[in-house]
Amino acid sequence: PIQLQRLTTMIGTVAAAATGSAAAASRYLSSSSTGNPQLVLNEIEKSTEDRRSYRCLLLANGLRAVAISDPDADKSAATACVRTGALRDPRSLQGLAHFCEHMLFLGTARYPDENSFLRFINEHGGVRNAVTSAEFTRYYFDIAPEHLPEALDRLGQFFTEPLFTESATVREVNAVHSEHAKNIPIDARRLLRLDHHLANPQHDYSKYSTGCLETLLPDASKAAELRQRLLQFHSENYSANLTAVAVLGRESLDQLQQLIVAAFSGVANKQLPMPSWESHPYDGTDCGVEVQMVPLRDIQKLEVVFPMKDYTEQFSSQPAHYASHLLGHESAGSLLACLKRRGWANGLSAGCGGGAAGFDFFRVSADLTEAGLANRAAVLRAVFQCVGQLRRAGPQAWVHRELSDLAALAFRYRDREPSAEATQRLARRLLTYPMPQLLTADCLVTEFAPELIAEVLDQLHPHRCKVFAVSKAFEPHCPPDGCVEPIYGVRHRLQPLPPDLLAACLALYNGDAPADGADSLLSDLRLPDPNPFIPSQFALIAAPPGSPPPRVVLEEAGLRLWHRADAQYCLPKLCLTVVMATPDAWSDAFSAANSQLHCQLMSDALNPVLYDAQLAGLSASLAACAEGISLSIQGFGHRLPALLEAVLDRLSRPEVEQLRFDSVIERYRKSLKNFALEQPLQQCLFHQSVLCCSLVWTHQQRLDAIEGATPAAAAEFARCQLLPAAAGGRPRFLLAFACGNAEVEQVVAAGGGIAQTLRRHAAAADGSQGRPQPPERQPHRQRDVLLPEAGDARRHHLLRCLAAEHHKQALTKLLVQSLKERFFNSLRTQQQLGYLVQLAERPGVAACGLSFCVQSERHPAELESRIDEFVEAAGPLLAAMTPAELRDHAEALRARLLERPKRLGAACFDRPDRLAALLLPPGGTSEQSAVEAGPLRHEELLDFYRTWVAKDSLRRRKLAIHVISQKSFGPAVQEDKYEGYPGSVITDVAAFKSGLKLGPLPARF
């Protein structure tokens, strides 16, 4: 990244140039007055479609800032970013930067209450969080617009007078440790941790960034010493000249500037140097090796990592992006397409990332099949064959032009970001790029630099790579008493790459013919064709004013089509959702599994087309759901019909070749099996659905259902069950919704084309033998849910309300809004039960509920007891709530419910359930709940709590789901933990569900 001295020079040059003309002087103002900015930059390069206004500031203390004025913003937001992160941790206190991030939320001299910031943000409809990366730490929030000034003042105090109290230090280090424990079972983090561990041990990159008790406070008696080190770290690394602030609000730029100056002028400028690293974590001695890693999940992965120069300053040409674009391409003739054709890979990515100022990495990562793992030497040769081909061809001007065009399209017609996302992105960019190019740097590719592209490709040398191979197949070769990474316990071994393999890779890299003829390994490897989906027409239709509701524009036998013209986003984009409604898609586990398999097979077959479309700003997704099969396409309207035609054409031919079928079903099976190792939160929510909802099939049921599946059987199922008017099945119906920049006539033509294409295929299936029958299946039985390698237990506690009309929905939401900060403060901040502590609403068709979740290393039985204590204490808390507090919570809830989608795709309800909510008469919409939330009285909220939530209520319904850590509590449920347990234990899911009352069916549309 650009050094401070150079950035200051750039700003100075701009300011000096501004003195040359009166017009320029009006744009670049300067002032030396104390408290006023040194520099005000009013004109920043931006998209012609961007309706926000921007102003960059350099405060007198050296702090950079950007004010973003958006009169239409639903939420105001701010982010403060500091150019310090985990790489700055002392080696004796690894994780200190992350711990400092946690502690800054827990009180300042002006606002000493530990929970003050969280409570203020929550009471006014906002969210807050922070992120510590290797090089940066970001603190951000969004909030109801009228409360921005105080929220900004509170954020500014993080950088002037943090308290770092000793009592909070002792407690919050446990929260950091809980976050560390949550990450241990995640294989992506384990691979990254192994990469850091195996780097040069003298380099800052080798340190552990998250931190845990062992690295921060192994001895609880030294909490006072840890607090002093926190104060020292903050003093030595937090400085105004290393800080940038982005603020977005409804106010004018002048008003936002005043708020920024008031909140952040007091941050001390310690004139600290901009952190950078001259050496690379890969010093050369650790390359030319294969690192075999044993994951927890059943996955196969090959990652080839090269040390790379830092090209951040070359943001106008982005030479590494050229290489990643071609190596990671997925169209016909690409490296991935060739590997897939051989059944070796299912996915591939390539690009730079993971470095810091002064160094970077280039990674080529492939998701392998089992056959690909067995042939990983050939996969590695294929990578270098592709690199060699690019080196021989040389940088292509037409590829650069296409990249430039694609980048310009994406930048000009970018969807409006939510307020918090925009400030997070821009605050970090202020510390990286020149102010005039704050928005455009690294988003536009304006220069062609063939010499830099060649330099990037030259660095992808076989002798400079480190190869990570990930598979459970390595378990016999990586015993627990062998090489084990000490933080996460990652088992691995290192082996030098065989000399003959390196020689073959080097020959391919140099373009020479290797002795074994490996240059013909991928004879169909070639550069991609020009992208056929790049649009050239961007005219906007004359949309009606306001936001008119959708209306039916086409209705015929088996088809209903809605249309809504966009008058809000004003982009040349269109969203189209098609639901092929069929009762046979999800009626049993066999149908659900085969519907999901069909969608994955078709998505895999369409991948080369979808990848080109994605590069050109179009996307398409296919998903199986309870309503049938959902197809969602969105992007530039000019080329959307071409993509739709390509997708429908492939859907009309459900046959796939055996090799791809084997690869896709292998991936599907493993995803079902690997769910047992998902985060406990996901386990809880899924098992809640199994217990409380119909038409929810367990992963084992779906695994059983696809046993013995074949390509022919999968194709027959698709023909007979998933497409409209197919013979041998029940009636089908097409539902379509188009929203965006399209005339009614265009939408009607598209809808008619969809129906015609799918019916033409269905007619060809008239000779089918009817519905394919599932194999005989074993009866389902309930099993204890145990997490084999995870250290966390999860407690999920659901209180259900047996009514779902708007009034009770609003009361449920208001109760959550009123209690969630107190729940978090009690169980997380004060009791330190775990890192993940959540209170949320769980909506349903006929009922809504309160969901209390805690993930912890403690036993779920204890967690349930703590939750019950909080629920019991909530009554007096609610009774003591003042009218002003209730009003604040009601207004915060209304602000959340009425927040408008920032992207056209989000407004188009691309899921069938959202589509139903949009098209049906009011029935659970956020708008209606928001209306109900306004006039709610204190007595109503208390009565609602006493009726549905209070422990002594006869109408309360409670469901508790315990996910138990096998590592912590053994392979069997400990009966003594449940001695005296007041509830009944569910031992038979089917019997339990058969005794539940059925709610009304959702209205059909």
- Give the residue with greater pLDDT, 587 vs 1005: 587
Closest of 457, 465, 461 to residue 288, by C-alpha:
465
Is residue 189 located within the same domain as residue 300?
A: no
Is residue 745 located within the same domain as residue 797?
A: no
Q: Tokens in use for 177?
A: 């440790």
Burial status of residue 960 (CB atoms within 10 A of its CB: 0-12, 13-18, 19 or more): buried
Residue 244: in which H helix or E strand, if any?
strand 243-249
Stretch 457-483: mean pLDDT: 96
Please state the pTM of the whole predicted model. Answer: 0.88
AA letter at 599: C
Active site residue 101: yes
Instruction: Kindly give, in sequence order, each residue whose CB lies less than 8 Å from that of residue 523, ignoring residues fewer than 6 positions away.
Output: none
Residue range of the domain that includes 733: 554-763
Q: How many residues in total does the chain contain?
A: 1005
Distances (CA, A) of 767 to 558, 585, 648, 728: 21, 20, 21, 9
Residue 897: in which H helix or E strand, if any?
helix 883-897
Q: Does 685 reside within a domain?
A: yes
Stretch 259-263: mean pLDDT: 97
List 65's β-bridge partners, or say none.
57, 245
- Give the residue with greater pLDDT, 784 vs 452: 452
Is residue 899 located within the same domain as residue 858?
A: yes
What is the SS3 assignment for 893? helix
Answer yes or no: is pLDDT of 213 > 90: yes
Is residue 478 located within the same domain as residue 378?
A: yes
Is residue 733 located within the same domain as residue 875?
A: no
Q: Does 636 reside within a domain?
A: yes
Q: Does 385 reside within a domain?
A: yes
Residue 352 contacts residue 308 (beta carbons within 8 Å): yes
Q: 215, 247, 264: which is the final residue of a domain?
A: 264
Distance (Å, whole) CA 761 – CA 144: 52
CATH number for 634? 3.30.830.10
Q: Does 954 reside within a domain?
A: yes
Q: Tokens in use for 406?
A: 């694609």
Q: 198, 230, 264: which is the final residue of a domain?
A: 264
> Would the CA dihedral through 65, 68, 69, 75 be positive or negative?
negative
Q: 487, 516, 545: which is the final residue of a domain?
A: 516
Closest of 417, 425, 774 to residue 587, by C-alpha:
774
Residue 893 contacts residue 814 (beta carbons within 8 Å): yes
Q: Does 639 reside within a domain?
A: yes
Residue 307 contacts residue 434 (beta carbons within 8 Å): no
Is residue 214 located within the same domain as residue 125?
A: yes
Is residue 645 located within the same domain as residue 738?
A: yes
Residue 632: in which H helix or E strand, if any?
strand 628-636
Count up the domains in the chain and report the number. 4
Considering only 612-616, 831-835, 976-980, which range has the smallest mean pLDDT? 976-980
Residue 514 contacts residue 500 (beta carbons within 8 Å): no
Is residue 299 located within the same domain as residue 171?
A: no
- Please write the tens of the pLDDT for every residue from 749-808: 888 888 887 766 554 444 444 444 454 433 333 334 444 444 555 566 666 554 446 788
Distance (Å, whole) CA 714 – CA 581: 19
Stretch 407-433: mean pLDDT: 97
Please, what is the Cα angle at 576 between 570 and 580, to 5 degrees? 165
Is residue 166 located within the same domain as residue 63?
A: yes
Q: Does 772 reside within a domain?
A: no
Distance (Å, whole) CA 909 – CA 579: 12
Distance (Å, whole) CA 219 – CA 216: 9
Residue 872 contacts residue 865 (beta carbons within 8 Å): no
Provide the pLDDT for residue 15.
28
Catalytic residue among 43, 49, 101, 707: 101
Q: At what angle do helices 938-948 and 806-824 cross, to 10 degrees?
A: 80
Is residue 252 located within the same domain as residue 348?
A: no
Answer yes or no: is pLDDT of 542 > 90: no
Provide the pLDDT for residue 923.
39
Is residue 333 located within the same domain as residue 241?
A: no
Q: Does 426 reside within a domain?
A: no
Q: Does 140 reside within a domain?
A: yes
Is residue 45 located within the same domain as residue 105?
A: yes
Provide the pLDDT for residue 10.
30
Provide the pLDDT for residue 984.
83
Residue 681: in which H helix or E strand, if any?
helix 680-692
792 torsion bin: left (phi>0), alpha (psi -120 to 50), beta (else): beta
Distances (CA, A) of 228 to 166, 234, 484, 563, 817: 9, 10, 33, 63, 37
